[in-house]
């Protein structure tokens, strides 16, 4: 059951073995979420160790895709969740020219929503990038 705030702020991309992969609806940064489909997990260590391993495997897979796709200066990977208690892992491609650089992105600038066409283009890009299990 996805937290309503996450549902509001982001767009479904696809299901991975453990997580739902979502795009944060904000043109300011290429920004993706992994949300484990495990009820009541808040912190990473609320997952058992096999699930943590799977989470990090999916995180690495997503990170490789983001590096290939966006060639960022830096990848930010973070589990914060002070606002939304449901466990979710941020992945943000950062650039020296982005609006918030070098600060963290949270709470800095209002989101600029994608157009439907832009979202479709991003979703299309995933088709060539199959998930490979550990």
Please report, as ranges, the residues that interact with a second copy according to CB under 8 A.
42-45, 49, 52-53, 56-57, 59-60, 63-64, 67, 73-83, 85, 94, 101-104, 106-107, 134
Q: Which is nearer to a second copy, 3 or 104 (CB)?
A: 104
| 66 in Cβ contact with 72 (< 8 Å) | yes
CB of 119 to a second copy, least distance (A): 25
Shortest Å distance, C-beta 47 to a second copy: 9
Vertex 63 angle, CA 40 and 113, to 5°: 75
**Shorter beta-carbon distance to a second copy: residue 73 or 121:** 73
User: CA of 87: how far to CAs of 26, 54, 68, 73, in Å?
Assistant: 20, 14, 26, 26
Whole-number minimum distance, CB 46 to a second copy, in Å?
10
CB of residue 122 vs a second copy: minimum separation in angstroms? 20
Instruction: Specify the residue, 15 or 134, whose C-beta has the smaller distance to a second copy.
Output: 134
Closest to 43 (Cα-Cα) out of 92, 91, 2, 84: 84
**In sequence order, which residues have a C-beta less than 8 Å from that of residue 11 and are 6 or more positions away?**
22, 23, 25, 114, 119
- For a second copy, the closer of residues 25 and 51 by Cβ is 51
* Pair 111, 29: CB distance under 8 Å: no
Minimum CB–partner distance for residue 74 and a second copy (Å): 6
Q: Closer CB to a second copy, residue 1 or residue 83?
A: 83
């Amino acid at each position: 059951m996805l937290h309503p705030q996450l549902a509001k702020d982001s767009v479904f991309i696809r299901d991975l073995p453990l997580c739902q992969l979502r795009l944060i609806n904000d043109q300011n940064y290429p920004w993706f979420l992994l949300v484990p489909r495990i009820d009541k997990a808040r912190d990473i260590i609320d997952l058992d160790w096999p699930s943590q391993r799977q989470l990090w495997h999916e995180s690495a897979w997503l990170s490789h895709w983001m590096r290939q796709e966006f060639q960022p200066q830096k990848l930010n990977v973070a589990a914060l969740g002070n606002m939304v208690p449901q466990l979710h892992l941020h992945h943000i491609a950062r650039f020296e020219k982005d609006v918030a650089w070098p600060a963290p992105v949270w709470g800095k600038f209002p989101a600029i929503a994608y157009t439907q066409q832009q979202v479709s283009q991003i979703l299309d890009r995933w088709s060539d990038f199959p998930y490979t299990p550990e």
